[in-house]
Structure 1
Amino acid sequence: MAQEIEIEFKNLLSEDEYQKLYTYLSFETVEPIEQTNYYFETEDLKLRSKGAALRIRQKNDTWTATLKEPHPDGLLETHDQLPKETADLWMNNQFSDAPHVEKQLNKLGISPSDLLYIGSLTTHRKERQYKDTLVVLDHSFYYDESDYELELEASSKQQGEKIFAELLTTYQIAKRQTENKIKRFYQAKLKSE
């Protein structure tokens, strides 16, 4: 499927909160995943101005281009699988072979030829099923920053809100306004310039 609606809840964590969830939810038995997001934007920040974001995610030996756009129930994600050689071209500002993403970019009035590679963020991730949701613990690294994050993916907004609130309450974690990874990446990028 080239498109899907992502219903996701996020909360930044302190290192202690991360360790608490790691232990209490038995994440030590889960295989770690390392993934790297390579981010793209236009020089005049057209994607950002439309609330959208574009990345290639490298996970194991797969490379997936994903355009995220606002949607009433979460985020509309449009995907294209890429061979590594094509991903390498993208990081050299030569865009091709992403028909689904390109179609959506055109709808936003953005030409792929205007895109620029702006940097990467690497995440050490653990995922597990929990009460019909997917609970994710992330430790991310970008520029001179690192952070810990709880994510919860659900099939409905109502179910996700309920389980997410339950997790925060049960483990006494303060609910925090949490920007998505690309916004945190941008903030760190601006600080480093």
Structure 2
Amino acid sequence: MSENLEIEFKTLLTETDYRMIRQAFHLRDQDFHTQTNVYFDNEAHALKNNRMGLRIRLLPTHAQLTLKTPTTNDALLETTDELTLSQAQDYLSNDRLPNFGAVHACLQRYSIDSQTLRSIGKLTTKRAEFKVPEGLLALDENWYGHAHDFELELEVTNYTEGKVMFNRLLSQLSVTYQPAKNKIQRMMEEKNSTL
């Protein structure tokens, strides 16, 4: 189990910007990994209504169950339980979540029964993640439903300083800021647009 504060800034990218950033940081194919996020909520939208997000993230060698909850200081609290790939696949194939662990305990504090939560969609990302002087930078190519987009994220430890550094980084890269909703929001909007 781990808990950490997530403070991040993000922008959507054009494909041209994505390729330029990839070249600027000398990123090769082997610098990227693929991850799939499967998102959860219940019929009453308890997580969405509480501005929370819950996912199982499938990585090449393991999986993570992560709950994001809002805090009072421009950050999200990430509570994560580590899973093996076989555990994650078992939960996903049964469309159920564990009824134990730190995520389960956190959901209980919000009076949300983890056994009412079901998968609501998924998003696959090809990501390169690396340290830069400003923080942790992630260059993403995302697929969800019929949608495909590109995104740049900077994770920092201080909101005010991070915002300045993110804007400076975009300026240095000659990238125009394009607001980027959270991945779960984009996935749900795309899903609802095709219904």
Unaligned ranges ≥5, structure 2: none
Distance 1:137 1:44, change over 3 A: same
Contact 1:143–1:188 at 8 Å: present in 2 too? yes
Query: Given that residues 126 and 138 in structure 1 are in contact (C-alpha distance below 8 angstroms), is that contact kept between their aligned partners in structure 2?
Result: yes
- Equivalent residue letter for 2:42: T
Q: 1:85 to 1:30 in 2, by over 3 A?
A: closer
Q: CA deviation at 1:132?
A: 4.5
TM-score scaled by length of structure 1: 0.93
Do the aligned partners of 1:7 and 1:154 also contact (CA within 8 Å) in 2? yes
Percent sequence identity is: 33
What is the alpha-carbon distance in structure 2 between the residues aligned to residue 173 and residue 98 of structure 1? Answer: 44
Q: Does 1:106 align with 2:108?
A: yes
Distance 1:40 1:100 in 2: 16
User: What is the alpha-carbon distance in structure 2 between the residues aligned to residue 149 and residue 94 of structure 1?
Assistant: 30
- Give, in whole Å, the separation in 1 of the partners of 2:14 and 2:153: 14
Residue by residue over 1:53-82, the C-alpha shift from the partner in whole angstroms, topping out at 9 and shown as x without a partner, is 000111112110000011223110001012
Verify the 8 A CA contact 1:63 1:81 in the aligned structure 2: yes
Count of residues in Structure 1 that have an aligned counterpart in Structure 2? 193
User: 2:31 is aligned with what amino acid?
Assistant: E
Q: Normalising to structure 2: TM-score of the pair? A: 0.92
Distance 1:30 1:152 in 2: 21
- Report SS of the residue matched to 2:36: strand
Deviations 1:112-159 (A, max 9, x none): 111011221110001221115111100000101010000011122233
Alignment of 1:26 onto 2:32: no
Amino acid across the alignment from 2:85: K
Q: 2:148 maps to which residue?
A: 146
1:180 is matched with which residue? Answer: 182
Hey, what does 1:90 align to over in structure 2? 91
* Corresponding residue number in structure 1 for 2:8: 8
What is the RMSD of the two structures over their aligned residues, measured on CA atoms?
1.6
Alignment gaps of 5+ in structure 1: none
CA 1:26–1:85: 2 relative to 1, 3 Å: closer
- Tell me which moved more, 170-179 or 3-12: 170-179
- Report the counterpart of residue 64 of structure 1 in structure 2: 64
CA–CA separation in structure 2 for the residues paired with 1:162 and 1:107: 35
The answer to whether the Cα contact below 8 Å between 1:5 and 1:73 also exists between their aligned partners in 2 is no
